[in-house]
Structure 1
Amino acid sequence: MQVTTSHQTALAQAEQPNHTVRHAVIAMLRELGMTRIFGNPGSTELPLFRDYPEDFSYELGLQEAVVVGMADGYAQATRQASFVNLHSAAGVGHAMANIFTAFKNRTPMIITAGQQARSLLQFDPFLHSRDAAELPKPYVKWSCEPARAEDVPQALARAYYIAMQEPRGPVFVSIPADDWDKPCEPITLRHVGFEARANPHTLSLIGDALDAARSPALVVGAAVDRGQAWDEVVALAERHQARVFVAPMSGRCSFPEDHPLFAGFLPAMRERMVELLGAHDAIFAVGAAAFTYHVEGAGPFIPAGSELFQLIEDPAIAAWAPVGTAAVGNIRLGVQELLARPHITQRQAPARKPTAPVPAAPAAGERMSVAFAMHTLASVRDPLSIIVEEAPSSRPTIQSYLPIFHSETFFTMCSGGLGHSMPAAVGVALAKPEKKVIAVIGDGSAMYAIQALWSAANLRLPITFVILKNRRYAALQDFSKVFGYRDGEKVEGTELPDINFVALAKGHGCDGMHVEDASQLALALQAAIAHPRPIVVEVEVA
């Protein structure tokens, strides 16, 4: 995004009597289009909201991690930085899980937090934040507590430019409570370009390798969809007849999963990745790390006889890649340059990935499988609806039976941190009121941010929350074998009996329904998707 301003407007503001930090910040946010403030207020934040302007809205979350998750979903769906207001040290502490996720998601976000009055700081006052700018590190791109009250608007402007510069991410500004009423000059926003082109020579090396390859493959990551490069990547894959894999732990869909070149999802295991990529002599990681691992591995990082290439907007990711050639720069611009090269002879199309078999309905008295539930949801939802997912143990099954076909219709977290996607669905629904939002959440995940249901109800957002209720932290039980657990051995702290999500939904102001009979699931989901208010569908799964 590029920002311009009117000098005449700034002069007019300066001539107003009693022009304060609050006036300057509100004017700046209005000019940037950031008129939604996501927050959970505390005492040190109250001065910001006195005489709150009518053209601004305050999106209340009942816990700070929920607030940041809502702002994350909103920023991703609008492709614009969101504005968050938290409460001092305790509020930032509550929010840290989703600040970490926003950092991994590369979500542009200006996070502010109140601070006790400057005159009190020398006395170690109640609820103040000592070393406030250090608290959210290292999971913000930049942080500060301005030296003077009149520096606050300029600090927030700098924070905006940094948040929006690729690789995007959250930034943090601590603001003492007495700063808002101090006299202040208005700020003039600047024209800033946020996208940088990759080195042309490096892109030429990548293009030459793709042209010469016998069997090229693309590995796409979240930065493709985040960077509006979906169409370009599809065109590049088709030009080279390259099979397309999804990088491990990708938080977005970056390639249509019904495309003939789609090859599936790579697991976060080195040996298994090498095996799946073994037939390819040129591997191009586009908008993806090369590669993200979850468990310790051994052996080569890529198949013998293959070469690895990468295009990524984040120089830190390019720096730690263990092998290969990396170009650093904007994904869309880089792929456009590769497409501008002279056309090559078409290769024969590779074999199409087989589709998953239709899952069987459960026998009488048995719970339905996740595969059956997701296949049913896929059959009744609009393909243009938006899926916001957080069900880690079910993710491979969801990927097989709830395919995504369009850009900007899938969101999850890139961090692995729970408690993101339920509030993120609220933010996405705020940003995309014309789209149906369906949140697919595991029962364990849901309890990390259940307060998001209240925000959905308060905002009257017609989100369908599908809770996959397997009554356990299944991801931990499944993962225990990696750490030497025997089959059937108890994994402490992983059972979740007796949680009633219909009651929790109603207690937060949402409607709810319980589905145990597989034969009733399709009708229940159809009704829930058509429902005009937020609704929770609790689905009992095996």
Structure 2
Amino acid sequence: MTTVRDATIRLLRAHGMTTIFGNPGSTELPMFRDFPADFRYILGLQESVVLGMADGFAQATRNAALVNLHSSAGTGHALGNLFTAFKNQTPLVVTAGQQARSILPYEPFLFADRATEFPRPFVKWACEPARAQDVPAAIARAYHIAMEAPCGPTFVSVPVDDWDQQCDPIEPRRMVANNPGDPFALAEAAEALAQARRPAIVVGAGVARDDAWEEVIVLAERHRAPVWVAPMSARNSFPEDHPLFAGFLTAGREPIVASLAGRDLILVLGGPMSLYHVEGFGPHIPEGSVVWQIVDNPAQAAWSPAGTAIVANSKAAITALLAGPEPVARATPAPRARAPMLDGRTLTDAYLLQQIARLRPAGSVIVEEAPSSRGAMHDHLPIVARDSFYTCASGGLGHGLPAAIGIALARPSDRIIALLGDGSSMYAIQGLWSAAQLGLPISFVIVKNGRYEALLNFGRVFGLQETVGTRLPEIDFCALARGQGIAATHVDSAATLDAALAKSFAAPKPTLVEVVVD
């Protein structure tokens, strides 16, 4: 016999989950008795930061990460980034403490009422085991469900007195859940693609999650098809300096139709094309077009408003498409026009992004949460390498800063550039402390415009004369960084920008650059 704790630690080690992200509370402490030397505990100062760090780490390692939260209150703090992890399709195993079983009938202090219901619907599976002896098996099941496509978070509530109970050891096992897709449907899609005269390809985050970067390039070149990025895609799935790169689809019905007009076949790979942020009217696809969509998420396949959907792993499905018939003769589409170079007479977000593109080290990774600068980023900061861009798929804020820390933990030899809006960064600013304690090579770049610019833009959409609650005066990000142990530089002119960025990009430890933009 062994303890529940020992059996769980052995299981976690077998699955490569030796990094635990948490902010401990009283009901979690017994889990960490005799904490093993080959494990590491990553402390975040608030549970939303903890969840965001784990999300970034899991995405970068392509393996589920373990998150340890406190009962109810701590889990509640983490829910915003749990929602983002669910939308990101990030595999996470979230454990939360629960009070001792013997006092649960008395509603004790800091217990979780209906613990498994609280994180729903943003977990794939939730469990509070009926017996202490069932805890390791529940965590094993949570891991396998988290890793099964579509990946996502799972949740296990563990009473505090369970960890020291005796149980039988559990043998780790392997589960393969890589759906190659229906071969007959994929053969039909390959035939339709080969016969199309003016095909287009739309790539979403699933292409990156499934590591199909090279395959989608070969597919596009073989069919001479322009490649668009799906609306709000949270990962980079095609090189933005490639001659076939066509641009980014806007999250609205009419602009999607306008961008793809004239295409007789639209192949959507790894993500939804019809993702809308504002109300729209009219058709969902251009007249005369047919849509074939390949995604790993049955829910996306079900709510897609047009075309044929195949549920499959992107890499396996593209490999099947490449085995299809030779395409008909087609002209090579004209390359996308490049944005003109900016001279820096005015320090705008576009100029900042242009200079980041010029100065960033080779192999660096962009983690972005600056929503109002996304358009400028598309024009002036091309993402050209595999697995070099991450953002949040949910639209919620407070993910980018801690996710950059998790990605840096997973990729310690790469420079991580966290591109953050001033409003966005305040949702998780205490994450800077964790970055400083860990000594990670992250450049935090704050785009400081003194307001929630994205909300001001939406205010214009709704015809508001004034958008209340959007001004952010007098936040000193350099002081906030230095107070948590990070060197910081203030930039308010184009003349000093390049030197500040270059110094930050070369620093062996985390730094922050606050850039005041017009």
Q: TM exceeds 0.5?
A: yes
| Shift of residue 347, structure 1, vs aligned partner | 2.1
Q: Partner of 1:232 in structure 2? A: 215
Q: Which segment is superposed worse, 309-318 or 204-213?
A: 204-213
**C-alpha separation in 2, matches of 1:219 and 1:196:** 20
1:389 aligns with 2:365: no
Q: Partner of 1:9 in structure 2? A: none
| Shift of residue 345, structure 1, vs aligned partner | 4.4
Task: Give the 5 Å matches for 1:139-150.
Answer: 139-150=122-133
Q: Partner of 1:531 in structure 2? A: 507
**C-alpha separation in 1, matches of 2:306 and 2:351:** 40
Q: Partner of 1:247 in structure 2? A: 230
Q: Partner of 1:466 in structure 2? A: 445
Task: Give the 5 Å matches for 1:368-517.
Answer: 368-485=347-464, 489-517=465-493
1:360 aligns with 2:339: no
Are the aligned partners of 2:55 and 2:403 in contact in 1 as well (CA < 8 Å)? Answer: yes
Q: Partner of 2:187 in structure 1? A: 204
**C-alpha separation in 1, matches of 2:257 and 2:246:** 14
| Shift of residue 434, structure 1, vs aligned partner | 1.0
Letter in structure 2 aligned against 1:336 = T
**C-alpha separation in 1, matches of 2:174 and 2:79:** 32
**C-alpha separation in 2, matches of 1:292 and 1:461:** 35
Task: Give the 5 Å matches for 1:1-150.
Answer: 14=1, 19-150=2-133
**C-alpha separation in 2, matches of 1:308 and 1:457:** 48
Letter in structure 2 aligned against 1:176 = P
SS at match of 1:112: strand
| Shift of residue 344, structure 1, vs aligned partner | 2.9
SS at match of 2:440: coil
1:293 aligns with 2:269: no
**C-alpha separation in 1, matches of 2:484 and 2:141:** 38
SS at match of 2:116: helix
**C-alpha separation in 1, matches of 2:287 and 2:323:** 30
Spell out structure 1 runs of 4+ moving beyond 6 A: none
Q: Partner of 1:338 in structure 2? A: 321
**C-alpha separation in 1, matches of 2:363 and 2:329:** 31
Deviations 1:272-316 (A, max 9, x none): 110010021100110011311000000000000101110000111
**C-alpha separation in 2, matches of 1:344 and 1:214:** 9
Number of residue equivalences? 518
| Shift of residue 33, structure 1, vs aligned partner | 1.2
Q: Partner of 2:137 in structure 1? A: 154
**C-alpha separation in 2, matches of 1:351 and 1:279:** 15
**C-alpha separation in 1, matches of 2:455 and 2:90:** 28
Are the aligned partners of 1:166 and 1:314 in contact in 2 as well (CA < 8 Å)? Answer: yes
SS at match of 1:134: coil
Are the aligned partners of 2:364 and 2:415 in contact in 1 as well (CA < 8 Å)? Answer: yes
**C-alpha separation in 1, matches of 2:369 and 2:452:** 13
**C-alpha separation in 1, matches of 2:361 and 2:182:** 41
Q: Partner of 2:251 in structure 1? A: 268
| Shift of residue 108, structure 1, vs aligned partner | 0.3
**C-alpha separation in 1, matches of 2:10 and 2:331:** 57
Q: Partner of 2:170 in structure 1? A: 187
Deviations 1:436-469 (A, max 9, x none): 1010000000000001100000101010000000
Percent identity of equivalent pairs: 56
Q: Which segment is superposed worse, 284-293 or 150-159?
A: 284-293
**C-alpha separation in 1, matches of 2:478 and 2:48:** 23
TM-score, normalising length from structure 1? 0.95
**C-alpha separation in 2, matches of 1:191 and 1:370:** 47
| Shift of residue 346, structure 1, vs aligned partner | 4.6
**C-alpha separation in 2, matches of 1:140 and 1:374:** 35
Q: 5+ residue gaps in structure 2?
A: none
Are the aligned partners of 1:252 and 1:412 in contact in 2 as well (CA < 8 Å)? Answer: yes
Q: Partner of 1:8 in structure 2? A: none
Q: 5+ residue gaps in structure 1?
A: 1-13
Deviations 1:71-130 (A, max 9, x none): 000000000000000000001100000000000000000000000000111001111111
Deviations 1:207-252 (A, max 9, x none): 1211111110011000001111111111111111010000011000
**C-alpha separation in 1, matches of 2:264 and 2:473:** 49
Are the aligned partners of 1:383 and 1:404 in contact in 2 as well (CA < 8 Å)? Answer: no
SS at match of 1:75: helix
Are the aligned partners of 1:312 and 1:329 in contact in 2 as well (CA < 8 Å)? Answer: yes
TM-score, normalising length from structure 2? 0.99
| Shift of residue 478, structure 1, vs aligned partner | 0.7
